[in-house]
Amino acid sequence: MSHLSDITCIEDLRQLAQRRVPRMFYDYVDTGSYTEATYRANEADLQRIRLRQRVAVDLSERSTRSTMVGQSVAMPVALAPTGLTGMQHADGEILAARAAQAFGVPFTLSTMSICSIEDVAAHTGRYPFWFQLYVMRDRDFVARLIDRAKAAGCSALQLTLDLQLQGQRHKDIKNGLSVPVRPTLANLLNLASKPRWCRAMLGTPRRSFGNIMGHVQGVEDLSSLGAWTAAQFDPTLNWNDVEWIKRRWGGKLILKGIMDAEDARLAVATGADALIVSNHGGRQLDGAPSTIEALPAIVQAVGQQTEVWMDGGIRSGQDVLKALALGARGTLIGRSFLYGLGAGGQAGVTRALEIIQKELDTTMAFCGRTDIRTVDASVLWPGSYPQPLAESGGLD
Sequence ranges of the domains in the chain: 4-386
Tell me, yes or no, if 123 is annotated catalytic: no
List b or e across 74-109, with b for residues whose CB sees 16 or more CB atoms inside 10 angstroms: bbbbbbbbbbbbbbbbbbbbbbbbbbbbebebbbbb
Identify the DSSP state of 392: G
Annotated catalytic residue: which of 3, 89, 123, 280? 280
Q: Which helix (H) or strand (E) holds 189?
A: helix 185-192
Distance CA 384, CA 396 (A): 24
Rounded to 10 deg, the angle between the 185-192 and 195-202 helix axes is 100
Q: What does each C-alpha distance from 130 to 61, 186, 210, 229, 279 come to in angstroms?
A: 31, 37, 16, 22, 20
Distance CA 274, CA 311 (A): 13
Instruction: For residue 13, give the 3-state DSSP assignment.
Output: helix
Residues in the chain: 396
Q: What pLDDT is stored for residue 191 in this prediction?
A: 95
Q: How far apart are the first and last CA of the chain?
A: 48
Q: What pLDDT is stored for residue 166 in this prediction?
A: 86
By the 8 A CB rule, do 130 and 153 touch? no
Angle at 350 between CA 273 and CA 122, to 5 degrees: 65
Distance CA 322, CA 377 (A): 8
Considering the segment(s) 4-386 as one domain, its CATH architecture is Alpha-Beta Barrel (3.20)
What is the DSSP annotation of 242-267? HHHHHHHH-SEEEEEEE-SHHHHHHH
Q: Is 178 exposed, middle or buried (0-12, 13-18, 19+ CB in 10 A)?
A: middle
Q: Is 6 exposed, middle or buried (0-12, 13-18, 19+ CB in 10 A)?
A: exposed
Q: How far is CA 146 from the centre of its chain?
A: 19
What is the DSSP annotation of 292-345? HHHHHHHHHHHTTSSEEEEESS--SHHHHHHHHHTT-SEEEESHHHHHHHHHHH
Distance CA 111, CA 93 (A): 11
Angle at 295 between CA 292 and CA 300, to 5 degrees: 155
Across the chain, which has 396 residues, the per-10-residue mean pLDDT values are: 82 98 96 97 98 98 98 98 97 98 98 96 90 95 97 97 91 85 89 96 94 85 71 91 96 98 97 97 97 98 96 98 98 98 98 98 98 98 90 42
Q: What pLDDT is stored for residue 374 in this prediction?
A: 97
